[in-house]
Structure 1
Amino acid sequence: MSRFWSDHLVDLTPYVAGEQPKNVTDLLKLNTNEHPYGPSPKALEAIKLAANDNLRLYPDNESIRLRAAIAQLHGLDSKQVFVGNGSDEVLAHIFNGLFRRSGRALLMPDITYSFYRTYCTLYQVPVQLAPLADDFSIRVSDYTQSHGAEPAGIIFSNPNAPTGMAMPLADIRAIAAANPDIPVVVDEAYVDFGAESAIALLKEHDNIVVVHTLSKSRSLAGLRIGFAVADPQIIQGLNRVKDSFNSYPLDSVAQAAAVASIEDTAYFEQMCRAVIDARTQLTAQLIGLGFQVLPSMANFVFARHPEYDAAALAQALREQNILLRHFKQPRIDQFLRITVGTPEDCERLCNSLVKIIKKTH
């Protein structure tokens, strides 16, 4: 702690990202939900073309081509699209621009993306937690019934993180309809791996905000590209925040790669199918080893073994250069979040688990 810090830093607990080891040979990294396959070849070509003398110029601060590509993909108007430096920055602007409402609390699940609580502390937004059901699903009634004092807004991930479980559109529609005067933010970082997108509900409900990232299904985590889609008036508010913070959040190379990736529909669908198929196989393999695996619609699975401590399993795998994500949070401290890799990656993981289980018996 430094005497030069601003007052609010004392109470701020930063988000802890997944470990990114350096210089480890033969490392199998299944801890940060990165795509097992590379970006679209067309995106890589766009990066090469964008890396030219024009980098001396500032990028398009309105990201016109990128916003148009996103709008066309989802049947929207460009005025409904907001882009940022990864979905985390987009979420930060949402917290700052939509949830700071005279001390009213933000309603969210007790188990979800942990960055939400960090943003609440950073932007001084009180939190109201709705516990997940015993099966780790989101109870719709917690968001449709009277909350006493009206919350500042509602946010949840769909599929949820770190469980991977998804809600049907009917449930999201019910939540939005029950809360017409507050923003309902649906964080869809993993939606392309089998869930339904709430973007389809924007025409019905002007309070829905949907957040996407190109880090997961588009395999562009290294470029940091995210976006939100919503009613144009909500987007206007987010642009006010953005232009009061950083008018140039996306560089020229990132914008070019993002447009090319979005336009390469065939590659995108092929790679999503590969991950979904590998997830199905990995789930079956883990169940065969005695694990309980929650039903996932993401590019990861959330699993626990009734006979083995999750932290001990994670450490044993680490000793074999395999990284998974273990959370010490109550209710989920016996689960492991496992990124879906290639079929060969999944086979290596399961073979290692077999050896660990045999060794401990």
Structure 2
Amino acid sequence: MSRFWSQVVRDLTPYVPGEQPKIAHLIKLNTNEHPSPPSPKVLEAIRAELGEDGARLRLYPDPNADLLKTAIAKRYAVAAQQVFVGNGSDEVLAHIFMALLKHPQPILFPDITYSFYPVYCGLYGVAHRTVALADDFSIDPEDYCQTPNGGIIITNPNAPTGRLLPLAAIDRIAGANPDSVVVIDEAYIDFGGESAIPLTARHDNLLVVHTLSKSRSLAGLRVGYAIGHPDLIEALERVKNSFNSYPLDRLAIAGAAAAIEDDEYFARACRQVIATRDQLVARLTGLGFDVLPSAANFVFARHPQRDAGELARALRARNIIVRHFKLPRIEQFLRISIGSELDCLALGNALHDILGT
């Protein structure tokens, strides 16, 4: 700890991202990356934007990313003024915490959820209160309809559990909190859920956040967006333009717009992940694991007779890495990303060997 650190830095407990080890022949099932490459149209768009000599890179990108906002607006049948874009959904979420969730009353989110939320609260001085998930790790919408609050943020499907909250529940929460912003973080919605974006037409307090890192296979490009009432979007734009007026580079804008427009490739890639997930769940269940219902591109599983940490270490010794959260209530679970069919086959075979079944 340096004497030059501000008190904010001294008090922070930073978010720890999923490990990105440099191990040869690694089967990487720990960060929920898509097993397929992005749409070929993404590469075409990036090459076109780059040009033969790359001269366009000497020019700043469009600070409003109008090309991308227009593509997103068309895809979801909303106005461009209802779309905000940023450098990954993490940046979008960071601006949301500052612009819309910093109020005297505490915001609410589940006790088991995306672990960046309490970090944002610490960074921006946002008061918060966690709401315990049910024993089956589901979210009870009534828990978010009874208490005055400074805002609500829910990941749906939830992370790391993968459990899905129905649209009717989100509608209920948004309607019960007309004076609070309700944020639905839909990083994994495309793998088995229905987006809450249409609900923004009747709830001016509802903001829905998406990322291109998961279902669009663009984790390396860093693009996220939010859709909601223009007043909410204006708040985010004010914060963005007070922080970094050029969050997306020229190649990211072009590539992301192409990904959004290629619905056929997107749908096919999502179907493949869902099919592989179903196969993996069947294999894990056959090996004695308890697997939570998942609408995401990962599963959350525990073995009643084996320690999760020991299983994770045994898999790592076989060059397979999964995510183990050493946190209360979930310390005996492993979060396993849905890789390729071959990746998941190798995982199942390794667990069969480890368990001696």
Cα distance between partner residues in 2 of 1:349 and 1:101: 46
Cα distance between partner residues in 1 of 2:302 and 2:71: 40
Of 160, 163, 166, 2:164 maps to 166
SS of match in other structure, 2:265 = helix
How big is the alpha-carbon RMSD for the aligned residues of Structure 1 and Structure 2? 0.7
Look up the match of 1:12.
Answer: 12
Look up the match of 2:342.
Answer: 344
Look up the match of 2:184.
Answer: 186
Residue by residue over 1:205-263, the C-alpha shift from the partner in whole angstroms, topping out at 9 and shown as x without a partner, is 11000000000000000010000001001100100000000000000000000011111
Of 57, 68, 74, 1:72 maps to 74
Look up the match of 2:2.
Answer: 2
Q: How does 1:238-277 map onto structure 2 within 5 Å?
A: 238-277=236-275
Residues 1:21 and 2:12 aligned together: no
Cα distance between partner residues in 2 of 1:163 and 1:259: 30
Of 84, 94, 98, 1:96 maps to 98
Look up the match of 2:61.
Answer: 59
Q: CA deviation at 1:89?
A: 0.1
The size of the alignment, in residue pairs, is 354
Residue by residue over 1:182-203, the C-alpha shift from the partner in whole angstroms, topping out at 9 and shown as x without a partner, is 0000000000011011101011
Q: How does 1:167-316 map onto structure 2 within 5 Å?
A: 167-316=165-314
Look up the match of 1:30.
Answer: 29
Question: 2:103, 2:127 within 8 Å by CA — same for their partners in 1?
Answer: no
Cα distance between partner residues in 2 of 1:13 and 1:128: 17
Residues 1:128 and 2:165 aligned together: no
Question: 2:107, 2:149 within 8 Å by CA — same for their partners in 1?
Answer: yes
Q: CA deviation at 1:354?
A: 0.4
Matched to 1:122, the amino acid is L
Q: CA deviation at 1:48?
A: 1.5
Q: CA deviation at 1:151?
A: 1.2
Cα distance between partner residues in 2 of 1:151 and 1:202: 20
Matched to 2:321, the amino acid is L
Q: TM-score, normalised by structure 2?
A: 0.98
Look up the match of 2:88.
Answer: 86
Cα distance between partner residues in 2 of 1:141 and 1:39: 39
Residue by residue over 1:265-321, the C-alpha shift from the partner in whole angstroms, topping out at 9 and shown as x without a partner, is 110000000000000000000000000000000000000000000000000000000
SS of match in other structure, 2:235 = helix
Cα distance between partner residues in 1 of 2:303 and 2:127: 35
Look up the match of 1:155.
Answer: 153
Q: TM-score, normalised by structure 1?
A: 0.97
Question: 2:102, 2:127 within 8 Å by CA — same for their partners in 1?
Answer: no
Cα distance between partner residues in 1 of 2:128 and 2:27: 36
Residue by residue over 1:61-112, the C-alpha shift from the partner in whole angstroms, topping out at 9 and shown as x without a partner, is 000010000000000000000000000000000000011113x211010000
Matched to 2:164, the amino acid is A
Residue by residue over 1:110-134, the C-alpha shift from the partner in whole angstroms, topping out at 9 and shown as x without a partner, is 0000000000000111111110000
In structure 2, runs of 5+ residues without a counterpart are none
SS of match in other structure, 1:97 = helix
